[in-house]
Structure 1
């Protein structure tokens, strides 16, 4: 009997030390994030398919290198228009219908590109495709962040980049699948097949709820409460999230489920740009600096050039057959997809900052090694086998490094750190900068390679990656585990000025926006 009691006591003590169970992933939030993130396939598919289609477009339409650069990169400039409009559109008609609009516009672009009889008509189709891409890039991460529970926000908000990479892979597969068709038909089918994901996106959105944060901003508190109950890990979390959103939107706590008239700057979107750049608090200035820097460095390291011009890079590395180049390009797509899935699984475990610094460290090594190998090949009259093999390897390692951090974390981080009142238009600003840098990189790669050699181009990209690593190490704080409404407290590393009585006043960027603090970044 005494032995049984001792065993029972031992068992009880061991159970006392059992770690708490992690909450199961919310299946409804997972489904919503997946459907919204599918919008990002549009961008990925266009990037992937154009890298191979341009080989056949050049032969069929007899276009120059400059025209190649324009048709490859112009979609990023057109995306600026879509991103700029999407910020206001999503505040006006809601996140959900903005996703529908993105799919519909890209559908028109894909149809026009698929029936292009000449270069001018192809450019016309890319205008519509670019507008749709701009809408998609802005709205997918915003909606996903706003429906994600705190426990899995990093996991879910990395989905847009997962689908970008999936789209790239599908584009590469499309290139290979249609490459054997007659010249005039093959590349047009490659581009025209883009209508399929756009149709699926529009149909999928019909079963998605509206973002609870947008519903609160419109005063629809009852609808917001019902959505939060579905997408939160518990009833208590749903109540807390609703209270936090109401507080951030300036709605009194006493307002319950009735329709309230929200008359403030959040509803109309007025005053957002002034608050971001003119009257910004130290915390908001730090957030805007983080958003701008992450978008700038993500694109200026030149990974879009690696993806768009991978057949050209592989040709320089010694692969001359079209089929072999497309197969090597498919390997790039598979590598990107696999490593973005790795990043998705570890974002909430390791945090944003460690993965971002690891990613840029890998980019530095890969880009400098690739630059060295291509330089050796360029200065050799004979085929340098080791340099060719290492060039192909470092192309794959560079996209792998990008995919575990720089790719997904930019979208996750920049969406989650922006306050509710600034989120839609702040995210649109980030996309505009992102696409602007991407347009510059993709529209100058061939000319830059001729001016300073292809190896010199990658030395330049590697140097930018090195500067980015130092900047992120100094500027970027960790945000893992914080609610969207708590995020501002992580920024504006400042000390409050002492009060006359020797104490200090804790800064509050929501309520004390007029207080002056010394910003220390």
Structure 2
């Protein structure tokens, strides 16, 4: 059983229940906002009010992500995950028992704090326990869990949409507690991050945890000794640097990496993907699917594709690299968004109903189907690239002394843009209609240029080797070809030394009688 709890894949996968909380919360609204029961109970909220309800969660997440940096350093990565789970359960209870918009918003803010904590600290924990060869795979499990949470909750929402009472949204919001409770209890059986332990001076514990993760508990294994020595050297170097504070994040040499992490997480929101998840019902209404059940069924396909197309990134990110996935993903997303906007602009028209104006395609099945297919391709392009890569890259580029604080800042940037977009998109879709898609397409073009010129390749390097990578003068577009990892060289040297010490010395052969 101990071996089970020290398996890196088991650890990485179970920790991603924190990501599942994020996914559950995203689709807990997307499946409800289009139902008559929801609209009637909450007084037919205007586009601005609905944007505020949805945006309450990312607002809380912004605060939670900022808190997670300090908490992750003080109480550990593991305990911060547990705290997030407990807060999530409280927020889910409030949402399930809601008696109106104020209580719903309060529950979503509390859930948001939990998601902010988990979304920041889980990738850090995963990155610190994973060997460099599969770090991208392990951290990518976070994004996969998000997509699975989105899909599961959406189908729960879809099933409950046939209930003509408040149970249609109370049941899904109550079910959200399940992954939170599982994470709260389960994570207590897993080890602390060895790098956090070492940073706290608990070297013997750190060495043993690292040995458990890498070599079935053998602390003398060459790979364990080499990696532990690298961690020790990094901590010794950190002690010679400036005092650990948020101020260091904005000074050289850390400022460059903090800027990259924050902009990467911001760009991931400006792709428009989470907007598509929150408001998929509205998007397909614009494509001409006005029947509620048909709309929900068409939306469900998008969630399934999101799960399936994250799998190739999990399996091959450490082989393909981060840069190619980010560059190809943003280029493709720009293409699909331009096509969606163009199709809606060419074949759609405005339809004013009361005080609300919607833009949709009518009586043109070809244009409607083409728009829906482009929407599906957009989701697939994000799922195989920016979805997993943005979490992985932002969690691996910082030195240990500022890692938690820097990742909290980059994750907070993600949530700040998530909040702004969740609030702004309903009015945008109402007032500038199809042109909204051109805005996000332009963002995708801009992020492609930014990635090419400023983001070096990080695959195959240990966390402790990132300093050398970012302090070098190699242009980012030339970092795909890189020398062998120092860790690999150290492991080979240690193995060779052991082999040499085990060889019989000259003249020590068998003695023969004369």
User: Which bracket does the TM-score occupy, shorter chain normalised?
Assistant: 0.7 to 0.9
- Give distance in 2, aligned partners of 1:317 and 1:137: 32
TM-score (norm 1): 0.84
Superposition deviation, residue 171 in structure 1: 1.6
Q: Deviations over 1:36-70 (max 9, x none)?
A: 11111001110012101123422221122211101
Matched, 1:58 2:8: no
Q: Deviations over 1:478-504 (max 9, x none)?
A: 111000000122224538xxxxxxxxx
Superposition deviation, residue 330 in structure 1: 1.2
Superposition deviation, residue 249 in structure 1: 1.5
Matched, 1:362 2:332: yes
- Give distance in 2, aligned partners of 1:387 and 1:492: 50
Matched, 1:167 2:149: yes
Contact 2:361 2:368 in 1 (8 A): no
Contact 2:287 2:371 in 1 (8 A): yes
Q: Deviations over 1:67-89 (max 9, x none)?
A: 11011112111111111111111
- Give distance in 1, aligned partners of 2:209 and 2:228: 10
Q: Deviations over 1:445-483 (max 9, x none)?
A: 111122221x10001100110011011011111111000
| Counterpart among 374, 388, 392 of residue 412 in structure 1 | 392
Matched, 1:134 2:116: yes
* Structure 2: segments with no counterpart, 5+ residues: 350-359, 475-514
Q: Which residue of 2 aligns with 1:353?
A: 323
- Give distance in 2, aligned partners of 1:206 and 1:264: 34
Q: Which residue of 2 aligns with 1:15?
A: none
Contact 1:376 1:387 in 2 (8 A): no
Matched, 1:305 2:275: yes
Q: Which residue of 2 aligns with 1:37?
A: 16
* Structure 1: segments with no counterpart, 5+ residues: 1-24, 252-261, 496-521
- Give distance in 1, aligned partners of 2:113 and 2:183: 16
Contact 1:58 1:64 in 2 (8 A): no
Q: Which residue of 2 aligns with 1:402?
A: 382
Correspondence list, 1:507-518, <5 A: none
- Give distance in 2, aligned partners of 1:27 and 1:344: 20
Contact 2:263 2:410 in 1 (8 A): no
Q: Give the 3 Å change call, closer, same or farther, for CA 224–104 of structure 1 in structure 2.
A: same
TM-score (norm 2): 0.85
Q: CA RMSD in A?
A: 2.0
Contact 1:144 1:156 in 2 (8 A): yes
Greater alpha carbon shift after TM alignment, 230-239 vs 159-168: 230-239
Contact 2:5 2:189 in 1 (8 A): no
Aligned with 1:158: secondary structure?
Answer: helix
- Give distance in 2, aligned partners of 1:493 and 1:329: 46
Structure 1 moving runs of 4+ over 6 Å: 262-266
Correspondence list, 1:222-371, <5 A: 222-232=204-214, 235-250=221-236, 271-278=244-251, 280-281=252-253, 284-371=254-341
Aligned with 1:70: secondary structure?
Answer: helix
Aligned with 1:463: secondary structure?
Answer: helix
